[in-house]
Structure formats: C-alpha cells, structure tokens
Chains A and B, each alone.
Chain A
C-alpha cells in the first residue's frame, strides 16, 4: 500500500538518531537520546548508599523516576517509571551489589500530552536509560535494551493491507488507528533456545510491549508484524549505540585559554566552557 507520511519518510525509516553523552557533573552516567525532535535525557547513579527502608539483602534496589517536560509528574509518569524498572531489570546484574541503590532519572525533553507518553517518546526514554547505564559502567549488565515505536494506519477506502510505520512522530501517533512501543533486550542467550543472532547483533528478546488499537481486527498477524518492524528499528539503534561507545571518553581537547592578566593561574573562562559544549555534541546520523 502506498502510504505517504507527512514528512516524506518511508514506512521503515526512522528520523535521524542523536546520541550524546552529557557528562553531567553530579551523577555517574548520563546520556541524551533523540529520534529527530523527540528527545529524552537520562542520568544514572549507582551503586550508592540506600536508605534502610528500601534496602534489599540480596540485590541492589533499582529506583526509576520519570519527569515530563512541563507540569508535575502524574500517574502516567509513574506508570512509565514502573515499566522502565520492569523492562530494564533483566538487563542488569543487580545481585553483584546488594544493599545499595541504583538510581535512574529520566527527563523528557519533548512536550507531551498530559494523559500519556507517545510511543516514540517512551522509546527515546528507554534508549536514553540504556545509554546512561552503559555510560556509568559501574553496574554489570547482561545486555542492552533498545526500543522503537510503531504506528498502524488503516485505509478507509480500499481493502488494502494496513500500513505499519516505524518511529511515528507525535502527530502521526495521534492520527494513527493504533500505535505502540516495543522494547527488546539484546544479549546472547546462555541456556535454552537461542534467538539467532542477526548478522552482527546478539539475539533479541521482547521485554516490553505496549500496543493499543482503536478498532481492532481479528488479524493475529498484525501484532506480530508490528513487533517485527519494532525489532528492525531496535537493531539499528543497537548498532548506533555500539558505534557511539568510543565517544564516552577522550573527546577533542578543549581550546587552550589565552593568557590574561586576571587569569594568572590559568582559570578557564565560562565562554571557553560554552564552546566546549558544541564540540562535545557528536551526532550520529543513521
């Protein structure tokens, strides 16, 4: 079915990905992830001290907070935080650091409706969280979780196959007849049935599905096709993450400060810091 998207993308094209390691000062790991304009920022601290009430004797306590761009976090932020905790836990070896706390804070950088997080924004939050956890490096991980949003459009005129699109924008999610987010854990399975690795990625297993359709059909294959499209998107994101790992360290050095009378001790001025930021932003376009 020839379905044209508002911005001219193909059905299986994502918007350009942005992966930036923020290097926030007071946390152990931080990263920003964006599908085009849909962006999220995540920061991770851990293993750190935990308050006695939340202490667990055999594993680390994993605490997730999600904040929307504007207004106070409501139940939809709590729900996304609970989902994040559930879908990221299989990727972490929490038993290595018992009686400690692993704290993840996700900040949405895109405006979203009060009632819910659109699927691409939820996917951006998940990917940003994975990047922040990789950046922190202090909690051992069994794999990497990557997510992608998918939307379903049905043609009202003909009896055509409905169109599934990858990485819907906010307006596309609103107009679509169904949309959802799929998150996959990429890791090599040790025992039991192994999902076959595809080319260069280790096997992927579904860890989160959040699929809603307004007027459903009895077509069982629809959900499976949406999942497959989500998996293709998640695989590309995994490759992008792997490519971005060298960026975590050793960026181009900051420009040398000029000698000034006030700066006898070589104090780097604020303006120099600002220009550093621009050099720090390395964008990957896939």
Chain B
C-alpha cells in the first residue's frame, strides 16, 4: 500500500480500528482522536479493514508478550536462568516454567544452551519474562531446550515471514532434506539437519531471502539451491 513516514496522519476509516505496530493514537484537548505513524514503512490493512499497521523491517528486537523467541542461556539466577533474547535487557526464565516441572523435577539448562520460549511478560519498566509452555494448553508444544543444531540470525521481517505457514522457504527446503527448525520472532532461527551441508544450505538460503540482504524470491532461491550441495 502507501509508504508512510513517522509524523504523518492517517485517516481512521473503521469505527473499531485496531492499531498494530507503527501506529499511535493521540487524543487532543478537545477530545478528538488522531492516528499518527511512528515508524517508516508501508501502511497495511487486513481484508476486513479493522486492523491497521505499518510494515517495516528492523534488526533490534523489542520484547512483546506472547511472542515465541529463541534465547541463549546467559547465567543461573536463583531458581531460574537469565536468558539473552537479543533485547536491551536480558529475560528471566523461571525453573518451574516448563511442562511438568516441580520443585524436585526441574530441567537442567547449562549456560550457553539454547531455549525456545514464549515471552510471558513484556513491560517497558520491567525486564521480560519467559515461559516454556503454551499459554492455553500449559503443555510444551515445542518450547523447551533446543539440543544440538545451529543458530542463524536474520532480520525481524524475515523471522515473521518464516513463521508464516504460507511462506515458501522452509517447506521448499524441507522437501529436499529432513529439516528441524525453530523460528524466534527475535530474529533468530535454530536449525537442525542430519548433514552439515544441509544446515549450511538452509542458512545461506535464509540469508539470501532475507529482505535486509537482498530479498530473493522463490524462483531465485530455487536456482540458488541448485548451485549448492
């Protein structure tokens, strides 16, 4: 849609408009509300028109609640751990925040190991908190320690693309070789394959398709893959 810069006013067409990232609502002294752009990018709307946001790319992760992230354990902290998720502050992960954990039965995470967790608390005045189970079902659902594998970094838009089930890249690679991947919204992707060259190929493809570094489309990536291996 249209390109917008911070400070521009957008017309709120829908009565109950939900504002996504990049938009901010202000109320002036007379009670009139106006919606102002706070990020550079393209203004997008969903099909129904009741959700609006500014689509833009960035590299630095700012924690938001309920987002899955890949974290690196930095240190032990009391009953839990401090985890680096790429934000300004480290997050805390409690020892009991795992499926089936109790005082006696706690996971044994070592420093520098990887975890796939969900941000349970993200407030600007507090340090973020993580949990390793799904919010509704309270079961692991893939969260927890990531053993082995390889960590790749990408831009935030690329990680959003990879989490989209309709995006071509991971299914395309998965059709060629068995691939295990955990995508974090903090711009980190964990990969695990049987052979090293498959891991490297996946890493190169993610780098190539990243909008921040070229943005290859499906056809170009297919050609690219054929040059690897």
Direct interface between A and B, CB < 8 A: yes
Interface, chain A (partner B; CB < 8 A): 23, 28-29, 45-50, 91, 93, 96-101, 134-138, 140-144, 185-188, 190-191, 202, 238, 241-243, 245-246, 248-254, 256-257, 259, 265-266, 276
Q: Are the C-beta atoms of A254 and B214 separated by less than 8 Å?
A: yes
Of residues 35 through 84 on chain B, the ones whose CB sits less than 8 Å from some CB of chain A are: 36, 38-42, 56-60, 62
In the complex, which residue of chain A has the Cβ closest to the Cβ of B58? A137
Does B168 lie at the interface of the complex (its beta carbon under 8 Å from any beta carbon of A)?
no
Does B109 lie at the interface of the complex (its beta carbon under 8 Å from any beta carbon of A)?
no
In the complex, which residue of chain A has the Cβ closest to the Cβ of B35? A188
CB proximity of B160 to chain A, nearest CB, Å: 13
Q: Are the C-beta atoms of A259 and B227 separated by less than 8 Å?
A: yes
Give the top 6 A-B pairs by smallest Cβ distance, nearest first.
A187-B7, A143-B7, A137-B58, A250-B215, A141-B6, A140-B38
Q: Are the C-beta atoms of B38 and A49 separated by less than 8 Å?
A: no
Q: Are the C-beta atoms of B214 and A251 separated by less than 8 Å?
A: yes
- Pick out which of these stretches binds chain A: B112-120, B128-136, B169-177, B196-204: B196-204
Q: Which of A142, A243, A245, A254 contacts B41 (CB 8 A)?
A: A245
- B121-155 contact mask (Cβ, 8 Å, vs A): 1 or 0: 00011000000000000000000000000000000
Q: Are the C-beta atoms of A249 and B157 separated by less than 8 Å?
A: yes
Q: Are the C-beta atoms of B88 and A144 separated by less than 8 Å?
A: no
C-alpha gap A23/B58 in the complex (Å): 11
Residues of chain B within 8 A of A266, CB atoms compared: 201, 204, 224, 227-229
CB proximity of B205 to chain A, nearest CB, Å: 10
Does B178 lie at the interface of the complex (its beta carbon under 8 Å from any beta carbon of A)?
no
Of residues 193 through 223 on chain B, the ones whose CB sits less than 8 Å from some CB of chain A are: 197, 200-201, 204, 208, 211-217, 220, 223
Residues of chain A within 8 A of B157, CB atoms compared: 249
Q: Are the C-beta atoms of B124 and A141 separated by less than 8 Å?
A: no
In the complex, which residue of chain B has the Cβ closest to the Cβ of A136? B58
C-alpha gap A254/B88 in the complex (Å): 32
Q: Are the C-beta atoms of A248 and B220 separated by less than 8 Å?
A: no
Residues of chain A within 8 A of B42, CB atoms compared: 245-246
Interface, chain B (partner A; CB < 8 A): 3, 5-9, 22, 24, 26, 28-29, 34, 36, 38-42, 56-60, 62, 87-89, 124-125, 157, 197, 200-201, 204, 208, 211-217, 220, 223-224, 227-229
Contacts between the two chains (Cβ within 8 Å), count: 141
Residues of chain A within 8 A of B5, CB atoms compared: 134, 144, 186, 238, 241-242, 245
The contact sample of 25 A-B pairs, CB cut-off 8 A, is A28-B60, A29-B59, A50-B88, A91-B6, A91-B7, A99-B88, A134-B40, A138-B59, A142-B6, A142-B36, A143-B6, A186-B5, A187-B6, A202-B7, A202-B9, A243-B3, A245-B40, A248-B57, A249-B157, A249-B211, A252-B214, A253-B217, A254-B214, A259-B227, A266-B228
Q: Are the C-beta atoms of B212 and A249 separated by less than 8 Å?
A: yes
What secondary structure prevails in chain A residues at the interface with B? loop
Q: Are the C-beta atoms of A191 and B57 separated by less than 8 Å?
A: no
Q: Which of A49, A185, A191, A249 contacts B29 (CB 8 A)?
A: A191
C-alpha gap A99/B88 in the complex (Å): 9
Residues of chain A within 8 A of B60, CB atoms compared: 28, 45-48, 136, 138
C-alpha gap A188/B78 in the complex (Å): 49
CB proximity of A205 to chain B, nearest CB, Å: 11
- Given A47-B60, A266-B201, A266-B227, does the pair A97, B3 have CB atoms closer than 8 Å? no
- Given A28-B59, A28-B60, A266-B227, does the pair A137, B39 have CB atoms closer than 8 Å? yes
Q: Which of A93, A100, A257 contacts B227 (CB 8 A)?
A: A257
CB proximity of A272 to chain B, nearest CB, Å: 12
Q: Are the C-beta atoms of A134 and B6 separated by less than 8 Å?
A: yes
C-alpha gap A199/B90 in the complex (Å): 46
Contacts A49-B89, A101-B88, A253-B217 given; 11 further ones with Cβ under 8 A?
A91-B6, A138-B59, A186-B5, A190-B34, A202-B9, A245-B5, A245-B40, A245-B42, A256-B223, A256-B227, A266-B204
Q: Are the C-beta atoms of A245 and B3 separated by less than 8 Å?
A: yes
- Given A100-B89, A187-B6, does the pair A137, B41 have CB atoms closer than 8 Å? yes
Residues of chain B within 8 A of A136, CB atoms compared: 58-60
C-alpha gap A241/B44 in the complex (Å): 20
